[in-house]
Amino acid sequence: MDRARVLARLGRPMEAALAWAALAEGGGRISGLAWIQVAKHREHHERDQVAALEAASRAAREAARRASLGMPLPWVERDLARRMPRLRRLVSTLSSTRRPAA
């Protein structure tokens, strides 16, 4: 986690995103937080709202799993309460503005 944060602070967002993704895929205590960071990178740096929504959905699944075990992730849950509706709205807007090729 420290490596990902340091890379982000050093202005190396792609490397930081890879570090966060590795932490997220690894599971464990911080995977919910890591998925949030992956979602942020995909939304703001890559401008890929669909991929950001997928990462946020993975964070939501991890938060639900931890809550069911009696180990909630309140910070992740609060973040997702704002992030998920916004990403869904953006993805919906993208879907409605794309037209099939003739």
Q: Count CB neighbours of 74 within 10 A.
A: 9
What span, in angstroms and rounded, lies between the C-alpha atoms of 67 and 26?
19
Instruction: Give mean pLDDT, residues 63-85.
Output: 95
Residue 74 has pLDDT above 70, yes or no: yes
Token pair of 36 as six digits = 């949030």
* In the predicted structure, residue 89 carries a pLDDT above the cut 70: yes
Q: What is the pLDDT at residue 100?
A: 62
CB 61 within 8 A of CB 51: no
Whole-angstrom Cα distance, residue 91 to residue 15?
A: 26
As a whole number, the mean pLDDT across the chain is 92
- Give this prediction's pTM: 0.86
Tell me which of 27 and 70 has the higher pLDDT.
70
Percent of the chain with pLDDT over 90: 78
